[in-house]
Structure 1
Amino acid sequence: MRDSAGSSQSAADATRHKELRRVLLSSFIGSAIEYYDFLLYVAAASLIFGRLFFGNLTPVMATIASLGTLAVGYLSRPLGAAFFGHFGDRYGRKSVLVATLITMGISTTLIGVLPTSAQAGAWSPAALVFLRMLQGLSVGGEWGGGALMAFEHAPAHRRGFASSCSVAGGPAGTMLAAAVLGLFALLPESQFLAWGWRIPFLLSSVLVAIGFWMRIRVAESPLFIEAQRKRQVTGTMHKPPLLDVLRAPKALLAGFISMLGPFTLYSLVASFGLTYARKHGLPISSVLAIQATGAIFCAFSEVVCGYLSDRFSRHFVLLFGLASGALLAYPFLLLLASGDVLKTTVGFLLMNVFVIGPVLGPSAAYLAEQFDTHSRYTGASLGLQTASTVGAGFAPITLTSLLALNGGGYQLILAFIVIICAMSGAVIVIRANARRQRQGYTVGAVIGAPANGDHRN
């Protein structure tokens, strides 16, 4: 009997581990595909869309207008978080993830066949903005589902690592987008602008088919299934998830401010940094190759930092990343301004490894732990996506404007970065103190203690 029971337990453990591995791989690849599509647009808007879709403007205004379309995608992300979050909390994570993937694939593929402003006039940028909005809606729902599937399948002591695998799909998608776009950028400029830039967008249809096949094979979140079972047994009817989140908005507000710094730093590297490096003489292919290299290191750093957040605390890792961002912003800009490939590469590597990895690696677990299962998809997604809208959506325009306002000097940009990072860091510390006091820790134990929230189910 004992051997039989032991064998049954071992078989059950093996099944759970196999399913967890499948979920982590699916979350990583699905997220990579979504962010390939979303960040392919970021790279293209930062480097070439100004000339293609806003050619009737001056070069500076065309760049600002092109970067402004990025904000449209970020503005629609909170709407996607609320919309897809509602269905994810009510009907399950899995089906929503399939829907977001398909929406993203269709919108990205259509961008690849969109006529330029020289071919279609004002209709062209209008259609571009509409498709970018669909991309934003999709990403707004994708992050919550992908990260939460990994988070909710993992045991409590591994949730930081598990959810970071989904987060790491972001830089993996960035790497793929930059590599593919950079490959076609090696074409003669006239051919690249005529048709070469379209191919990376059209490839989205192939990637989405792969992601769809993987996502339909994973099991639904066990925590969601358990919450649904309890609801049926007790006959409890929860209010719409959005109302639950808004009735107690402290967690949502804290998540929003906590993530402002991380997303501002991310935008400094992923969007503004590309434009700035290009401005100082690097060719498009070199800029994209550098971004792809940095993304490889970023993905690795995010997973390592997710693991470290399980061993120490989410707060410690996040605060380390914010402090590093405030300190490294100035050297980063100096290295980019050199116009040298090697120095620019070093700048991107420093920021990706010591800043972006620490601030984004633990972010999914940090936000997920602020909410209960029945409203987690909505609450965590809204917290992150509202921060991404403000911190990443408008930061490229803000940073570009501050640079112009200061006559090309860095002072205003650096002051802006430091203020935003300090705001986020202060909220993280306040939130950590309050949580640890509820759990019996002293205020001084915030940073070093290995507790990571209340591990809500």
Structure 2
Amino acid sequence: MNPDAVNSQLSAAVATHRLARPSSAARRAVITAVLGQILEWYDFFLYGTAAALVFGKLFFPVGNDPLIGTIAAFGGFTVGFIARPIGGVLCGHLGDRYGRKVVMMLTMLTMGTATVLMGALPTYQQIGIMAPVLLVILRILQGLAAGGEWSGSILMIHESAPASRRGALAAWSPSGAAFGFVLSTAAFMLAQHLSHDDFLSWGWRVPFLGSAALVVLGLWMRRSVSESAAFAEVKATRNESRMPVIDVLRQCPREVLTVFGLRFGEGGASYIFFAFSLAYGQFIGIKSSWILGGLTLSMFLMIPVSLLVGHITDKVGRKPVYLVGAIAMVLVAWPFFALLGSGEYWKVMTALLLANSLTLGILEGAQPAFISELLPVHLRYSGLGIGREISSVLGGGLSPMIATGLLAYYRSAAPVAIYLGALGLTTVIATCCARETWPKALRDAARQQAE
């Protein structure tokens, strides 16, 4: 895409949002998006936790090595990610043609229905092969919904926010997702207080079934939100694209590829930190309550880090901040597994805090505004849906299964640490190749307009 056109578009956006203080519409967009993200990602993360703890035993009882069943369960995890680009394309097309709000209602309903049904599924012992088949089908529905949720959420905030505060406000969206992870992990921690037999027979189902009430609340909240200001303005002033998915690939191929690169390593690392750490903890004999507790604490602390980082990007730009997070991912790869492998409680906690609170906190705080601003408003949902969600499959979706496969073959975390470092290196390269979307000239113009 022509850089002059991008700068012109951003300058016009700066002029449109003159006030530094968010409008009531922007505040509603933030609140609704964050609460929706909490509910949506609570549902999506439940599968990752259950795959590491129980799904291998109940739905994929393959062979004598428990790691084999876990690999199969993570295969279902990967299938959900494969569905995400399809959901991203469909939701992107609908979102760029008809608006962000209608898509966010659809993703919430789909995700909630699939999650509740997971909690009601009979196990392999009860209905045989149909149990994992039905589980995978429901995971596909989750993937379709997740493919459109993240992009829609950050766009609702970013496109309604004042130009000078887009980084800070857009960072609330991944913070909502992080809190959704905290809730899902906390739900399993509570369920694990049951006896082992009760947990395997019915206790694991409670977090899934309990999401029904949360989804009803989420749908009620999203009914009250307005369409994003930037999209409403573009829709009123220009002819809409009939095929935005095709148009974004034709007009902005480099930008879509950049989104892919910025997300690929970060997505892969995040699911090694989230999901694989549970499987690795079980492999080396660490109490699952330690890992779950550490994940809950570290993801909770990621929220203030992400919010601070989003604010910093408004002051110094998006690219240098994201580069710091990418370098941190490379540097933390070996210490993460060394600390986990020690088997000492405080070292396990330190590993998870370094990985999730610090490294992912930096990346998640800078990413929403960074990748949103790479694309023009009328093609933005489609571009994010393609670039981000395809990278989610190849990065986040495959990483727990690849990491577990490496562990099963080598019986050591060393190859996994090398894999994690390579993911970080790809993020460093992608960030270096990306253009700055919030350069000093635009920051100064936004500050002057705000004054």
* Same fold, judged at TM 0.5 (above): yes
Please list the CA deviations of residues 393-441 of structure 1 after superposition, one character each: whole Å capped at 9, or x if unmatched: 001111222234434151x3233223332222222212227x79xx899
Structure 1 match to 2:33: 27
Quote how far apart the aligned CAs of 1:384 are. 1.3
Q: Does 1:91 align with 2:98?
A: yes
Structure 2 match to 1:44: 50
Quote how far apart the aligned CAs of 1:335 are. 1.5
Measure the CA separation in 2 of the matches of 1:451 and 1:288: 44
In the TM superposition, structure 1's runs of 4+ consecutive aligned residues that sit over 6 Å from their partners are 12-15, 449-453
Q: Secondary structure at the match of 1:238?
A: coil
Q: Secondary structure at the match of 2:336?
A: helix
Query: How many residue pairs are counted as aligned between the two chains?
Result: 427
Give the RMSD, CA atoms, in angstroms: 2.2
- The answer to whether the 8 Å contact 1:277/1:336 transfers is yes
Quote how far apart the aligned CAs of 1:386 are. 1.2
Structure 2 match to 1:371: 375
Larger deviation, residues 250-259 vs 190-199: 250-259
Structure 2 match to 1:262: 266
Q: How does 1:270-309 map to 2 (within 5 A)?
A: 270-309=274-313
Q: Secondary structure at the match of 2:23?
A: helix
Q: Does 1:204 align with 2:197?
A: no
Amino acid corresponding to residue 258 of structure 1 in structure 2? L
- With normalisation by structure 1, the TM-score equals 0.89
- The answer to whether the 8 Å contact 2:319/2:434 transfers is no
235, 247, 250: which one aligns with 2:250: 247
Please list the CA deviations of residues 44-90 of structure 1 after superposition, one character each: whole Å capped at 9, or x if unmatched: 10111100101243312101101111101100001001001111110
Q: Does 1:427 align with 2:430?
A: yes
- The answer to whether the 8 Å contact 2:20/2:164 transfers is no
374, 380, 385: which one aligns with 1:381: 385
Measure the CA separation in 1 of the matches of 2:186 and 2:23: 33
Q: Does 1:70 align with 2:77?
A: yes
Measure the CA separation in 1 of the matches of 2:249 and 2:20: 40
Measure the CA separation in 2 of the matches of 1:440 and 1:277: 45
- The answer to whether the 8 Å contact 1:227/1:373 transfers is yes
415, 418, 436: which one aligns with 1:415: 418
- The answer to whether the 8 Å contact 2:97/2:241 transfers is no
Distance of aligned partners of 1:307 and 1:440 in 2 relative to their CA distance in 1, 3 Å threshold: closer
Structure 1 match to 2:400: 396
Amino acid corresponding to residue 164 of structure 1 in structure 2? A
- The answer to whether the 8 Å contact 1:280/1:338 transfers is no
Quote how far apart the aligned CAs of 1:101 are. 0.3
What fraction of aligned residue pairs are identical, expressed as a percent? 36
Please list the CA deviations of residues 307-353 of structure 1 after superposition, one character each: whole Å capped at 9, or x if unmatched: 11111121111111111111111111111112233221111111122
Q: How does 1:55-454 map to 2 (within 5 A)?
A: 55-58=61-64, 59-231=66-238, 236-248=239-251, 249-410=253-414, 412-432=415-435
Amino acid corresponding to residue 420 of structure 1 in structure 2? L
Measure the CA separation in 2 of the matches of 1:404 and 1:198: 28
Measure the CA separation in 2 of the matches of 1:91 and 1:133: 24
Structure 2 match to 1:8: none
Q: Which has the higher contact order (CA 8 A, sep 6+)?
A: 2
Distance of aligned partners of 1:226 and 1:407 in 2 relative to their CA distance in 1, 3 Å threshold: same
Q: Which runs of 5+ in 1 are unaligned?
A: 1-11, 442-448
Structure 2 match to 1:53: 59
Measure the CA separation in 2 of the matches of 1:52 and 1:179: 21
Measure the CA separation in 1 of the matches of 2:326 and 2:256: 20
